[in-house]
Chain A
Amino acid sequence: MSGPDAALVLERVSRWYGNVVAVNDVSFSLGPGITGLLGPNGAGKTTILHMLAGLLRPSAGRVSVGGQVAWRNPAVYRSVGLVPEREAVHAFLTGRAFVEMAARLQRLPDPRAAAARAITTVDLEGAADRPVGTYSKGMRQRVKIAGALVHEPPILLLDEPFNGMDPRQRLHMIGLLRTMAEAGRAILFSSHILEEVERLADGVLVIHAGRLAASGDFREIRRLMTDRPHTFVVRSSDDRRLAAAFMTEPAVFGTELRDGRLTVRVAEFGGFTRAVARVARGASVSLFEVAPTDDSLESVFAYLVSRR
Chain B
Amino acid sequence: MTIFGEIAQITLRALLGRRRTLLMLLLAAIPILVGLLVRANARPGPVDVGAFLDAIVIRVVLPLVALVFGTAALGSELEDGTAVHVLTKPIRRSTIVLAKITVAGTLTAALLVPSTIVAGMLIAGLLNTRPGSDPITATFAIGLGVLVGSYLYAAIFVALSIVTSRGLLVGLGYALIWEGILAGLLPGSQVFSVREYVRGIAETLEPSSIESIVGSSAVAYAAIALVAASVIASLRLAVYEVRGGE
Contact = CB atoms under 8 A, between A and B. Distances in A.
B35 to A, nearest CB: 35
B3 A47 contact: no
Interface string B84-101: 111111111100000000
Chain A CB count within 10 A is highest, among B3, B93, B241, for B241
Interface in B88-116: 88-93
Contacts of B86: 105
Contact of A22 (B3, B80, B244, B245): B245
B6 A55 contact: no
A239 B114 CA distance: 88
Interface stretch (A78-86, A167-175, A193-201, A292-300): A78-86
Contacts of A86: 81, 84, 244
- Chain A interface: which size bin? 35 or more
A252 interface: no
A42 B13 contact: no
B3 to A, nearest CB: 6
Nearest to A43: B246
Interface stretch (A88-96, A179-187, A253-261, A264-272): A88-96
A137 interface: no
Interface residues of B, number: 28
Nearest to A51: B245
B91 A82 contact: no
Contacts, number: 86
Given A86-B81, A88-B81, A105 B91 contact: yes
A74 B6 contact: no
B10 interface: yes
A41 interface: yes
A56 interface: yes
A230 interface: no
B217 interface: no
A228 B13 CA distance: 56
B239 A57 contact: yes
Given A55-B87, A57-B239, A42 B246 contact: yes
14 contacts: A44-B246, A46-B244, A55-B84, A57-B239, A72-B238, A74-B92, A84-B81, A92-B14, A93-B13, A98-B85, A101-B10, A101-B85, A105-B91, A147-B85
Interface of B: 1, 3, 6-7, 10, 13-14, 17, 80-82, 84-93, 238-239, 241-242, 244-246
